[in-house]
């Protein structure tokens, strides 16, 4: 006899935020604001030059940099919409502080979360491969962890797909795995 599935709460994940900025000071300012909102950063990636696309040049200039932050506090997946809306507001606030209008950010903040099997990002842009969550926010599985490596999808952003960030993501995943194992003992 088949049994019906029973809803249950998922394991908590790791809140991850990708930052893109044209100036290192803007990365620092964004990190400070994010730590005030979401607690201490457990891991910060190195700062990489962002050269995979020219999409952000009008806002961030031609020498944009990418950095990722992972937060220490276990993250409830159902909070992703709130975080995306808050980071969108923070982008506007940081732009205004720099004397820019709302359409010209100084930092792009992309929140998401990591589980053992996936890196999920929040977005406001609908597409066939994105799932609507609430209040204008969609979720996208950007990378999946399979056969001991991060794997891209056809829609994965080019900078996420090439592998530069994968060792950092693997370190975060390994820490999450340890935390979940300790919790189950």
User: Each residue of 64-74: pLDDT tens digit?
Assistant: 999 999 999 99
**Residue 19: inside a domain, yes or no?**
yes
Residue 1, domain member (yes or no)? no
Q: Which domain holds residue 63?
A: 13-184
Q: What is the pLDDT of residue 47?
A: 97
Asked whether residue 8 is domain-assigned, the answer is no
Query: Does any domain span residue 6?
Result: no
Whether residue 3 lies inside any domain: the answer is no
Mean pLDDT value across residues 3-14: 91
- pLDDT per residue over 155-181, tens digit each? 999 999 999 999 999 999 999 999 999
Q: Determine, yes or no, domain membership for 79.
A: yes
For residue 47, give the nearest of 168, 143, 173 by alpha carbon.
Answer: 168
How many folded domains does the chain comprise? Answer: 1
**Residue 72 belongs to some domain of the structure:** yes
Q: Is residue 1 pLDDT above 80, yes or no? A: no
Mean pLDDT throughout 70-94? 97
Residue 2 within any structural domain of the chain: no
Tell if the pTM clears 0.85, that is, is over it: yes
- Would you place residue 60 in the very low, low, confident or very high pLDDT band (cuts 50, 70, 90)? confident
């Amino acid at each position: 006899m088949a049994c019906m599935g029973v809803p249950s709460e998922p394991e908590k994940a790791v809140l991850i935020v990708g930052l893109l900025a044209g100036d290192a000071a803007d990365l620092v300012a964004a990190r400070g604001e994010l730590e005030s909102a979401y607690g201490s950063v457990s891991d910060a990636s190195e700062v990489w030059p962002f050269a995979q696309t020219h999409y952000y040049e009008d806002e961030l200039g031609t020498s944009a940099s990418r950095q990722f932050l992972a937060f220490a506090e276990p993250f409830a997946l159902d909070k992703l919409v709130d975080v995306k809306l808050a980071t969108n507001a923070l982008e506007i606030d940081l732009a205004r502080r720099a004397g820019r209008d709302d359409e010209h950010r100084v930092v792009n903040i992309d929140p998401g979360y990591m589980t053992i099997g996936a890196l999920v990002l929040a977005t406001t842009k609908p597409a066939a491969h994105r799932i609507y969550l609430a209040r204008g926010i969609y979720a996208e599985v950007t990378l999946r962890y399979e056969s001991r490596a991060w794997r891209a999808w056809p829609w994965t952003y080019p900078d996420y797909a090439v592998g530069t960030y994968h060792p950092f993501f693997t370190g975060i995943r390994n820490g999450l795995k340890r935390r979940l194992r300790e919790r189950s003992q």
